[in-house]
Amino acid sequence: MDIATILGIVSGFGLVVGAILMGSGLGAFIDPPSLLVVGGGSVAAMLIAFPLSTVIGSIKIALKAFFSPKQSPDAVIERIVDLAVKARKESIIALEKEEIDDPFLAKGVRLVVDGTAPNLVSSILRTEIGFMKQRHIGGQSVFKFLGAMAPAYGMIGTLIGLVQMLQSLDDPSSIGPAMAVALLTTFYGALLANIIALPIAEKLGGKSGDEVLMMEVTIQGVLA
């Protein structure tokens, strides 16, 4: 598990809730229609902007933000060195029976064992990296888009609330509560964008970079 991601989200919401409780009750900040406008509107916008497969796939990609890499570059290098030592002591064919947990490394070793030309091995593996980067960019784009749409729909909800408030100006006692409800959609949009969507998009970018680095290390090791 990536403790930093979990700690950041929990502490982010915790600080906001704590500040609310220090000033007033939490109930004043709960408004289902406002949640519907921000949440439902943002999802609708994502479905318009992206293919359904990309939106669904982004959920799986987002899980990467909550988990640490299975192995570090140092571990990858150590594994490649072990394979190289075995190939030198026995033969390159001996690697066929070797159990390799990393699918990318296993593919590279299999290509080398099959006698594939080094430049073709590099091309095949780098093509796979390119496809992976495109998937990751798609997931990041969805969350960046969500980070932009949530505040926008928050403002739309606020405008709806203001229109409803202006229709009841003949009752001054209702203006304050109506204004508070109108502002809640902006509040929800800001929370969704700045505690969930944009930080996760940024974290996914870093995770993708780390994964590409390990795959590049793997290519260099396989071709060495």
Buried b (16+ CB within 10 A) or exposed e, 112-141: bbeeeeeeebbeebeebbeeeeeebebbbb
Within a domain: residue 186?
yes
Within a domain: residue 75?
no
pTM of the model: 0.82
Domain range enclosing 144:
31-70+127-223
Cα–Cα distance between 129 and 118 in angstroms, integer?
Answer: 16
Q: What is the pLDDT of residue 70?
A: 67
58 Cβ contact list (under 8 Å, min separation 6): 50, 138, 139, 142, 143
Q: Is the CB of residue 145 less than 8 Å from the CB of residue 45?
A: yes
**pLDDT above 90: residue 14:** yes
Q: Which of 53-67, 74-88, 193-207 has the highest mean pLDDT?
A: 193-207
Virtual CA dihedral for 142, 155, 37, 161, nearest 10 degrees?
A: 180
Structure tokens at 128: 């796979």
Q: What is the pLDDT of residue 125?
A: 93
**How many other CB atoms are there within 10 angstroms of residue 2's CB atom?**
15
**pLDDT above 90: residue 40:** yes
Within a domain: residue 192?
yes
Within a domain: residue 105?
no
Within a domain: residue 48?
yes
